[in-house]
Chain A
């Protein structure tokens, strides 16, 4: 039980080894936006890390870019737009919903729906089959067959 608990805790733990950088902000709101943004922008060198996690040179440069734009009074949306104009939607962990990214957003839901429909169809078919097995004629037939077999067996014993 203890081991299970440890496993569950490990699953939900997140490893944090992001670079510690000293950045001075004018307002706590600005710092909050900074933290959110660097968690949402992908480091394109080490593609499965955010720029907050990555220590790559490009990640550092992009963090600096985000910081400077915030200092200039740019909004979160303006900074996200700046990044996508240069690196494409791939740079955002939360890409906007549009024709190009449609499959990405709808895909999982579509697969789930297909799976559910298949499940319903299969279980229905199975139920129908189960019902056939216990139809009255079947019962009668099998009872007749059983009697026949028994008769044959007893006959054999007598021989």
Chain B
């Protein structure tokens, strides 16, 4: 009996592993930065290059860091979602304009709407490296103490905003600073 059951059992085990493998997203690399302090930066503000923004200016409140670029196709897909989120006025949204040119970036925002409270320019991609950015768009949720609490790689979809981002932002807003 066991002799005949063995192949079936082996097949079932293999099928389970293969099914799991199919459903894993190889682009979803767990970030070691979760629950770590968000790396500091000092970057020129898009539209006001003489002004620099750094992380300390954002401490004390929950904020999102959305990595975007005018050359990035998937950013176009998630952009309406961020416009919706911005309308709710729930959270400060900081744009990290990654390896982009200021005129192209400005035109992009003028065309598609600007959900960002402020955008900073990371033309050389150095802040991107500090945040472990490897695929634009990426979104980080940072709490009042400046700790990265969540990272989303790839375009944020409507369901991600409703089911993950908004509940998390509300939870973090309730935490003491």
Residues of chain A having any CB pair with chain B under 8 Å = 44-45, 47, 57-58, 61-62, 65, 84-88, 90
Contact = CB atoms under 8 A, between A and B. Distances in A.
Interface in B110-145: 124-126, 128-132, 134-135
Contacts of A87: 29, 32, 132, 134
Contacts of A58: 125, 134
B32 A44 contact: no
Contact of A85 (B29, B30, B32, B99): B32
B99 A86 contact: no
Given A47-B26, A88-B29, A88-B32, A57 B99 contact: yes
A44 B33 contact: no
Given A44-B135, A45-B135, A57-B99, A84 B125 contact: no
Contact of B129 (A45, A61, A90): A61
Contacts of A84: 32
B171 interface: no
30 contacts: A44-B29, A44-B135, A45-B134, A45-B135, A47-B27, A57-B99, A57-B125, A58-B125, A58-B134, A61-B124, A61-B125, A61-B126, A61-B128, A61-B129, A62-B129, A65-B129, A84-B32, A85-B32, A86-B32, A86-B33, A86-B129, A86-B131, A86-B132, A87-B32, A87-B132, A88-B29, A88-B30, A88-B31, A88-B132, A90-B29
Given A62-B129, A86-B32, A88-B32, 13 more contacts: A44-B135, A47-B26, A57-B99, A57-B125, A58-B125, A61-B125, A61-B129, A85-B32, A86-B131, A86-B132, A87-B32, A87-B132, A88-B132
Nearest to B30: A88
Interface of B: 26-27, 29-33, 99, 124-126, 128-132, 134-135
Contacts of B135: 44-45
Nearest to B27: A47
A149 B24 CA distance: 66
A115 to B, nearest CB: 13
A48 to B, nearest CB: 10
Contacts of B33: 86
A82 to B, nearest CB: 9
A44 B136 CA distance: 12
A17 B170 CA distance: 50
Contacts of B32: 84-88
B98 to A, nearest CB: 10
A41 to B, nearest CB: 12
| Most A CB within 10 A of own CB, among B33, B124, B125, B130 | B125
Contacts of B126: 61
Nearest to A48: B26
Contacts of B99: 57
B142 to A, nearest CB: 16
A87 B27 CA distance: 12
User: For B33, B99, B134, which residue has the most chain A Cβ atoms within 10 angstroms?
Assistant: B134
A57 B135 CA distance: 11
A110 B8 CA distance: 22
